[in-house]
């Protein structure tokens, strides 16, 4: 009887030690779920979701503090992917956070720009080059189209230009299957 209890206690202690050690040794840094959500988000860093960037939004979703339908640049497709990842029902985009727009890049009218650097400070991905009293310009390949540079501009010289389809960006379309008309 006593032997049995001692054996059980010994096993419990050993297992407890192993578990305790592994909890320290194999501790996962950061929130892996937030990482996965962040990988799905489009990284425009536009803040339309109500959070200052994609990463904070991903963390809020992971904690259950934000809904999955607050990201207009991700579109319905993004919502569907998030729903798949989290195992919940997809829902339609929340209009309160904006509607999806065609992918665009910002464009600075260099005739009007006064070189105030306000847009440079607003750009979340440092995609505007320029200095005080020098003309600014957008580095188009780095621009995410977040529109955060539009409100601070005192002379309204920034506009959004939709990305036109050109040869390097052209895609084969889904083949159209002709349906047979029935009666």
Partner 1 sequence: MSRELFKFKGGVHPPGHKSESNTRPIHAAPLPKKLVIPLRQHIGNPAKPVVDVGDRVLKGQMIAAADGTISTAVHASSSGTVTAIDLQPVPHTSGLPDLCITIETDGRDEWIAHTPLDYRAMAPTALRMQLRDMGLAGLGGAAFPSAVKLDPGATRPCPTLIINGGECEPWITCDDLLMRTHADEILQGVAIMRHLLGSTEILIGIEDNKPEALAAMQAAATKMDFAVEVVAVPAHYPGGGAKQLIETLTGKQVPSGKLSTDIGIQVFNVGTAHALARAVHHGEPLISRLVTVTGHVLRPQNFEVLIGTPMHTLITLAGDRDGTTGVLMGGPMMGVPMPNLDVPVVKATNCILVKSNELFPPLPKALPCIRCTRCADACPAVLQPQELFRFAKAGDFGRAQEYKLFDCIECGCCSYVCPSHIPLVDYYRYAKSEIWAHEKGKRASDLARERHEFRLFRLEREKKEKAEKLAAKAQATRAQAAQDQTRRAELAAEPAAEGTAPSDADAKKALIAAALARAQAKKAEIAPKNTDNLSPGTQHEIEEIEARRAKIRALARQPLETEEKP
**Smallest distance, partner 1 to C-beta of residue 62, A:** 16
Subset of residues 79 to 118 that bind partner 1, contact rule: CB under 8 A:
none
**26 contributes a contact to partner 1 by CB under 8 A:** no
Rounded to whole angstroms, how far apart are CA atoms 61 and 77?
Answer: 17
**76 contributes a contact to partner 1 by CB under 8 A:** no
Q: Between 16 and 52, whose beta carbon lies closer to partner 1?
A: 52
Q: Between 84 and 156, whose beta carbon lies closer to partner 1?
A: 84
Choosing from 31, 33, 35, 53, the residue that interacts with partner 1 (CB under 8 A) is 53
* Secondary structure class of 2 (helix, strand, coil): helix
Burial 121-139, CB ≥16 within 10 A → b, else e: ebbbeebbebeeeeebebe
Task: Say if CB 60 and CB 76 are below 8 A apart.
Answer: no
Choosing from 54, 66, 79, 119, the residue that interacts with partner 1 (CB under 8 A) is 54
Q: Between 20 and 162, whose beta carbon lies closer to partner 1?
A: 162
Task: Say if CB 131 and CB 75 are below 8 A apart.
Answer: no
Task: Say if CB 112 and CB 124 are below 8 A apart.
Answer: no
Subset of residues 123 to 152 that bind partner 1, contact rule: CB under 8 A:
124-127, 142, 144
Task: Say if CB 105 and CB 141 are below 8 A apart.
Answer: no
Pick the piece of the chain touching partner 1 (CB under 8 A) from 15-23, 24-32, 82-90, 161-169.
Answer: 161-169
Task: Say if CB 163 and CB 103 are below 8 A apart.
Answer: yes
Please report where in the chains the tokens 């192993």 appear, as a residue: 18
Q: Between 41 and 93, whose beta carbon lies closer to partner 1?
A: 41
List interacting residues with partner 1 (CB under 8 A).
38, 41-45, 53-55, 124-127, 142, 144, 165-167, 169-175, 177-178, 180
């Amino acid at each position: 009887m006593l032997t049995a209890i001692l054996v059980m206690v010994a096993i419990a202690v050993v297992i407890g030690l192993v578990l305790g050690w592994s909890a320290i040794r194999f501790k996962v840094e950061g929130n892996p779920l937030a990482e996965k959500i962040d990988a799905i988000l489009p990284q425009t860093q536009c803040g339309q979701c109500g959070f200052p960037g994609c990463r904070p939004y991903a963390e809020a979703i992971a904690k259950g503090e934000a809904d999955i339908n607050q990201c207009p640049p991700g579109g319905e497709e993004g919502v569907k992917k998030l729903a798949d990842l989290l195992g919940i029902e997809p829902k339609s985009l929340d209009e309160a956070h904006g509607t999806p727009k065609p992918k665009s890049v910002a464009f600075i009218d260099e005739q009007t720009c006064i070189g105030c650097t306000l847009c440079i400070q607003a750009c979340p991905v440092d995609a505007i080059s320029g200095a005080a009293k020098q003309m600014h310009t957008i580095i188009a390949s780095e621009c995410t189209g977040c529109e955060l540079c539009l409100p601070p501009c005192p002379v309204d010289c920034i506009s959004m230009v939709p990305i036109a389809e050109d040869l390097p960006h052209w895609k084969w379309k889904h083949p159209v299957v002709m349906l047979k008309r029935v009666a």
